[in-house]
Amino acid sequence: DTLWDLAIAEVEKRENPDDNDVKPGEVWEKSVLFMGSKSGGKTTIILRCLEREESPKPTLALEYTFGRRARRHNTPKDVAHFWELGGGTSLVELIRIPITSHNIRSFAVVLVLDLSKPYELWTTMESLLQVTRNHVNKILTKLEKTNPEVAAEIKQRMWNNLQRDHPDYTLVDPFPIPLVIIGSKYDIFNKLDSEMRKIISKTLRFVSHYYGASLVFTSKSEALLLKARALINHLAFGYDKSKSVSVDPSKPLFIPAGLDSMSQIGPPPASDSDLGKMRANTPLELWRKVFERTFPPKSFCDLQDTKDPAQDSQYAEYEVDVMRAQKNQELEQYKRNASKSWREMDFDSD
């Protein structure tokens, strides 16, 4: 290599620290899992990121697609694997399929929350992030025994977005893998009462900062979709991380990870006397209690709302449907026989 080649390589290394472990000519592979509110716009965001002109369809269980991009001119195209979890919180256990010990180093999560449904917001967020975090932590525990260097690298990377001299360094609890939180349907959210909007915005700012996540509000607006796309492209293809910030509650929020602070966010939106009466073990629990005073969680069950794909005419297959009907009949017959046998059993002790 010439001195000029070495200089270029050094500049690229400094500008793109995340791909230091990718050698020239190698293909970068990243995986991103999209999860969140049912009908929150996950599919639309994915299609926009991949520049596909398709009409979004309801997601069934867990769906997969991929995209390919070249980081620089005349280089192999990198691959990003996009997974999408449907069903809101009802199918969260399926996250074990895409997130494995083999790809944990290159995995990221995008949580899409429907801003137009604030009464479901915290429940959806807490359920999905808790199960995901528990699963990732189990993988890390196993890696500590089989590959301690990789486990240590992942744990150290959790703190990369927050400098040690950041005033909140001891107050946050970063998510174990990169996380982006997207507040969707901003156009509908913007019609809510201004005080409600402030509470939601302030709460999501705290949650994102607490987890070391990036936060962006989006809608069908092309300008807002581009901002969400910039954060996702950083995760999926290693594009430069945006340094712009928008924290004005009267405008769509855009805050890359590590660029917010507790002092800027302020205390939970409640009086000092009310805060003093609330019992909480962590700052996150305190914010949840304050948020749910204004937006008490609705009692809802995602499973009841999930349509059975077997009943959807667009997935009809004659041979499969005939066999399914036969198996259903056999199952019903088995139930009747079992019930009859149970009634006829003699429970006398003699």
Domain count, the chain: 1
Residue 12 lies in a domain: no
| Assigned domain for 75 exists | yes
Residue 77 has pLDDT above 50, yes or no: yes
What value does the mean pLDDT take over residues 309-327? 73
* 177 inside domain: yes
| Residue 4 domain-assigned (yes or no) | no
C-alpha distances in Å from residue 118, one per residue of 183, 214, 221, 259, 271: 11, 19, 21, 25, 21
Cα–Cα dist 295/199, whole Å? 10
- 3-state DSSP helix/strand/coil percent for the chain, to nearest 5? 50, 15, 40
What's the pTM?
0.77
**Residue 314 resides in a domain:** no
Torsion of CA 256, 195, 168, 275, to 10 degrees: -160
- Is residue 200 in a domain? yes
Q: Supply the range of the domain harboring residue 107.
A: 26-294
Beta strands 62-70 and 29-36 are unpaired
- 80 vs 9, which has greater pLDDT? 80
pLDDT (tens digit, 9 = 90+) per residue, 168-221? 888 899 999 999 999 999 999 999 999 999 999 999 999 999 999 999 999 988
**Residue 332 resides in a domain:** no
Question: Is 350 a residue whose pLDDT tops 50?
Answer: no
> CA-CA distance, 56 to 67, in Å (whole number)?
16
The Cα–Cα gap between 260 and 257 comes to: 7
Residue 329 domain flag? no
How far is Cα 286 from Cα 29, in angstroms, rounded to an integer? Answer: 39
pLDDT band at 304 (very low <50, low <70, confident <90, very high): very low
Does pLDDT of 119 surpass 60? yes
Give the closest residue to 131 by CA, choosing from 187, 91, 160. Answer: 91
How buried is residue 190: exposed, middle or buried, by Cβ count under 10 Å (0-12/13-18/19+)? middle
Q: What is the pLDDT of residue 343?
A: 52
- The tokens of 322 are what? 């005939």
Do the beta carbons of residue 268 and residue 286 sit within 8 Å?
A: yes
- Give 340's pLDDT tier (boundaries 50, 70, 90): low
Look up the CATH number of the domain holding residue 122: 3.40.50.300
Residues in the chain: 350
Report CA 281 to chain centroid distance, whole Å.
25
Residue 308: C-alpha distances to residues 61, 119, 315 (Å):
11, 25, 11
Per-residue pLDDT at 17: 46
Residue 251: count other Cβ atoms within 10 Å of its Cβ. 12
Helices (H) and strands (E) in the chain, counts: 12, 7
